[in-house]
Amino acid sequence: MKFFLTETNTRNRLPYGINANRAVDVRYANRKNSYRIPNCCVVDMKTPSEVFFTDIITEPFLMVSREVAEVIEMYTPETIFKTIYLLETESEINATYFMPFVEEVECLSEQTKRSRGGTELLDIVLRQDAVAEKPIFRVAGFTHVYLIVRLDAIESMLRRGIRGIKLKELSVV
């Protein structure tokens, strides 16, 4: 089965300065601590002129559009979601996202290449035994969101017309 690293395409004119008001404590942006984050949060953001709201935002924490949330719920019904209201107060531009607490999996093979400090992944290689039955998950042990999506789930998202994402096929051993 094929898996893809799914990220925000940063070539778009994206909102920035998200969570400057610290409405969401990013230390708790994982499944184990999801109960510490309120069910609904109003989160500050800044927007460039002609802002583009992509369907998956990975910084400063994972946020997805309703269409992506529906696919995540279809493939992993045990996923917990919190509602995030992004608000730019000056222009009153707003957007609604969902913060999914997807499963975190220890799935990296020995062949994975890391940065010198070991805090970033340069070339991800997954272990087949760890990911065989996982349609959507995060790589465990990293504060940066490495969202991994299986081919069938990605196809389901793309059929719903999601935009603004970048996909990179990963090796599985």
Predicted confidence band at 1 (pLDDT cuts at 50, 70, 90)? Answer: confident
Q: Which pLDDT belongs to residue 117?
A: 84
Give the chain's mean pLDDT: 95
Q: pLDDT (tens digit, 9 = 90+) per residue, 46-73?
A: 999 899 999 999 999 999 999 999 999 9
- pLDDT tens for residues 121-158? 999 999 999 999 999 999 999 888 999 999 999 999 99
Sequence-separated contacts (24+) of 95-98 with Cβ below 8 Å: 95/15, 95/53, 96/66, 97/57, 97/63, 97/64, 97/65, 98/63, 98/64, 98/65, 98/66, 98/68, 98/69
Whether 118 shows a pLDDT value over 90: the answer reads no
- pLDDT value, residue 49: 87
Distance CA 47, CA 152 (A): 33
Check if the beta carbon of residue 35 is closer than 8 Å to that of residue 78. no
* In the chain, domain spans: 3-172
Least confident of 5-9, 30-34, 116-120: 116-120
